[in-house]
Structure 1
Amino acid sequence: MLHPSISFARIIQQQLVSPKFSAIKDIVRHMGAMQAQDAYAAQFAIASRLNKRVKEIDIEKAYAAREIVRTWLFRGTLHVCAPEDVYWMLALAKERLWKTMQTQWRNAGLDEKTMAGALASIKKLLKGGQQVPRKQILEMLTAKGIDVSNHRGTYILNRAAYEGLICFGPKSGKDFTFVLLEEWIPKPKPIPRKRAVEMLFNRYIESRGPATLKDFAAWSGLTLTEIRTAVKNIEEHTINDQAYIFPKNYVLPAKGKHPVLLLPAFDEFLLGYGDRTVSIKADYEKEVYKSLNGIFSYIVVMKSAVVGIWKRTLTNKNVTIHIDLFEPINATQTKELQNAAKQYGEFLSLPSTIHIQQKKAVSTLRDGTK
């Protein structure tokens, strides 16, 4: 059930209100790892958590400067993390996923000999600091007689990432490139697994608490048994029959202004937890979670709860933001939505048009920002 105080506390820890970080690399490090299935949504997720305005191009520059890294991490999903974290996080994620992934590879007809050949070819192609788009890598593999159809190409890139061979590099035009991970980010000394679990848990609670052990297990893909073995002296507080773990020295706010937020698809505000019911009503879940194809919509948050979804339509001259609300809002909230949409346009360096639809009313607001 909805719990606005818990949800508001998460908004604070996730830096979605009164953020304390100004550097892109610092907010990513604070969050530990951030969902990045949708690369452009992830860029806005980062920008939404900073105390200064940054643009889409600034996030792309941070990738190019090796201040942040995008690769496959927890649960077999793309994430953004800090460069100093990528190796130990890969090691944590790989062990739990390996059996599942190997089954997928075998079912796709990718035996170990084929995989080894593909990875050797990718390494040769990228060696010496080469930054190569996905399409070109797959074309090279095809030319060598390796079938990359029906997700095989993705499986090969997954394998290369979890082996620590590749990660995403900077953009080349409109395309994201891949680079050799050890050329891009020097490999540090390994961290013992138990210590790594504890580090990830602490980072998670500080950036997403209050949360439960099950929330952390769902987000990280680790087992509760391993978590309880690695993390000692956990102090839990029972609220609504749920045992929550709070960040250190944290006091749940009794009052505070709940911001109106436009958050991107796959945002950690929802995907950072196994149990999302404190922040979204059950009646709205089917609108937000497109579970059949794994898509999570862009969301509207008011009073620390999800109250709608949104999408964008881009042209070279304008971004139109279509907002579909699940419940009516007042004039003040409409103005705050307009401001949030304007900020999104500024992030894209485009003027914005905001189209708001609710139960019995439709309004269109325009911002002339250039």
Structure 2
Amino acid sequence: MTYTALTLSLARIISQGLVEETAADHPTAAVDNMLALQAQLPSSIPWAINLRVKEPSVRAIDEAFESAELVRSWPMRGTIHVTSAQDHHWLRQVLRHRYRTWMRSFEEEGLTRARIEEAAQIAYSRIASEGPQSREELCAVWEQEGIRTGTRPQREAALQAGERGTFLDRRNLFLALHIEGFLVGGPKRGNSFLFCDARALPLAEGVAQGEGNHEAALAELARRYAWGHGPVSAEDLARWAGIPKREAARALEGAAQEKPGQDFPIIHTPMGYHRADLDALLRTHAEEARSLISFPSFDEIHVGYADRSCLADAQAEHAICPTKNGMFRPFIIENGCVIAVKDPRAGYQFVESYKGIPSSELLEQAEAIAQVMSGN
């Protein structure tokens, strides 16, 4: 079989659960299929998950977070993701070594292990008595207990003013509490996620770097990534997980080793690493994968790869992230490629390279899809 850019894009659409055959029966299964789903914008999360379930339901997604079947955290590369409760701790631990430089820099600004543990114990006490807490509520109770927090500019201003005591960078404190496995984002209130005690989630042992099961855990990470994102390359996995390319290549080779009873069989073909049944799925579902799909900002179909040129050409990439500030815009794909991007002021605009006939009806159709999937 000859693999073209279109074939690669359609294959990824199928692997990600964006056609009926591979779509999940419920939100937790949809996230499981991806292993982790980028979740920087809370408003984009229901939309991204609903695209990957057979029967979209914002209520079902909210219930999954309420029961902590789904959680929100920073398992890798300093970016917020949604994972299942089952995957949270092992994924966090297998990639924890990638945060070492950050953690050392946190210590230099006063965010020591002892201070992190102190903040965790205060949070545990409040969560036990009052239930899941918002960011503002936790910051207030820390303030009462002598742990001052604020934004980085606030912290720098306090230090310049000669204030005594430790004034901690608020974002770094929350990041550290997630990296160390103390807190996790859980129930959703409005457009925000409350924080829960992460000790209640299933634990993993021996998977951190230097421990006996680390290499097997890396291979499992690669297997799950290739299953839900494939076809992928070592460069794709390296970027997605924030690990060196050599490590990613080794993990993918480990993932592609056939094992009896393996739940996620992965093979390596000229197209990349992917689920073993993908060619068969392409033969029967490629036409459905060509359909019009409306995606939220930061969707995995785009941000889940180092090389996404099969989906978005240079013009589309510029439209999705015009200022290179890391903020990505919602977009529409049809026939496996980006055809329009949503401008915050002007609404959806066709990309210059769009070969079809621009149609307001098509954009209205995509907007209607977005409304249903996001629950707005």
Which TM-score band (shorter chain)? 0.7 to 0.9
Structure 2 counterparts to residues 313-324 of structure 1, below 5 A: 322-324=347-349
Q: Which residue of 2 aligns with 1:237?
A: 269
Q: Say whether 1:133 aligns with 2:164.
A: no
Q: Say whether 1:310 aligns with 2:342.
A: yes
Q: Does the Cα contact within 8 Å between 1:36 and 1:42 map onto a contact in 2? A: yes
Given the superposition, is the C-alpha separation of residues 175 and 270 from structure 1 closer, same or farther in structure 2, using an over 3 Å criterion? closer
Range with bigger deviation, 277-286 or 145-154: 145-154
Secondary structure at the counterpart of residue 57 of structure 1: helix
Which letter does structure 2 place at the counterpart of 1:264? P
Aligned-pair distance for 1:100? 2.8
Given the superposition, is the C-alpha separation of residues 71 and 57 from structure 1 closer, same or farther in structure 2, using an over 3 Å criterion? same
Given the superposition, is the C-alpha separation of residues 83 and 7 from structure 1 closer, same or farther in structure 2, using an over 3 Å criterion? same
Structure 2 counterparts to residues 154-173 of structure 1, below 5 A: 154-172=171-189
Which letter does structure 1 place at the counterpart of 2:19? V
Which letter does structure 2 place at the counterpart of 1:297? R
Partners of 1:164 and 1:23 in 2: how far apart?
26
CA shift digits 1:81-118 (9 cap, x unpaired): 11111110010221112223432x24544344443433
Q: Say whether 1:326 aligns with 2:356.
A: no
Q: Does the Cα contact within 8 Å between 1:24 and 1:59 map onto a contact in 2? A: yes
Which letter does structure 2 place at the counterpart of 1:295? M
Q: Does the Cα contact within 8 Å between 2:319 and 2:351 map onto a contact in 1? A: no
Partners of 2:133 and 2:237 in 1: how far apart?
35
Greater fraction strand: 1
Partners of 2:248 and 2:315 in 1: how far apart?
32
Partners of 1:137 and 1:324 in 2: how far apart?
41
Q: Which has the higher contact order (CA 8 A, sep 6+)?
A: 2
Partners of 2:110 and 2:61 in 1: how far apart?
37
Q: Does the Cα contact within 8 Å between 1:35 and 1:77 map onto a contact in 2? A: yes
Partners of 1:106 and 1:75 in 2: how far apart?
19
Partners of 2:359 and 2:103 in 1: how far apart?
46
Structure 2 counterparts to residues 70-89 of structure 1, below 5 A: 70-89=72-91
Aligned-pair distance for 1:227? 3.3
Q: Say whether 1:143 aligns with 2:171.
A: no
Q: Does the Cα contact within 8 Å between 2:321 and 2:327 map onto a contact in 1? A: yes
Secondary structure at the counterpart of residue 111 of structure 2: coil
Partners of 2:180 and 2:17 in 1: how far apart?
32
Partners of 1:36 and 1:149 in 2: how far apart?
23
Secondary structure at the counterpart of residue 211 of structure 1: coil
CA shift digits 1:226-250 (9 cap, x unpaired): 33444435654346xxxx2232132
Greater fraction helix: 2
Given the superposition, is the C-alpha separation of residues 217 and 265 from structure 1 closer, same or farther in structure 2, using an over 3 Å criterion? same
Partners of 2:28 and 2:111 in 1: how far apart?
37
Q: Which residue of 2 aligns with 1:187?
A: 203
Identify unmatched segments of 5+ residues in structure 2. Answer: 153-168, 208-212, 258-266
Secondary structure at the counterpart of residue 300 of structure 1: strand
Q: Percent identity over the alignment?
A: 23
CA shift digits 1:46-95 (9 cap, x unpaired): 001111132x3331111002221111111111111111111100102211
Given the superposition, is the C-alpha separation of residues 175 and 271 from structure 1 closer, same or farther in structure 2, using an over 3 Å criterion? closer
CA shift digits 1:107-161 (9 cap, x unpaired): 5443444434333322332235721111111122233333322241111111111
Given the superposition, is the C-alpha separation of residues 291 and 196 from structure 1 closer, same or farther in structure 2, using an over 3 Å criterion? farther
**TM-score, normalised with respect to structure 2:** 0.80
Q: Does the Cα contact within 8 Å between 1:17 and 1:259 map onto a contact in 2? A: no
Partners of 1:113 and 1:66 in 2: how far apart?
27
Q: Which residue of 2 aligns with 1:340?
A: 366
From 24, 29, 45, give the equivalent of 1:26: 29
Q: Does the Cα contact within 8 Å between 2:294 and 2:369 map onto a contact in 1? A: no
Which letter does structure 1 place at the counterpart of 2:279? V
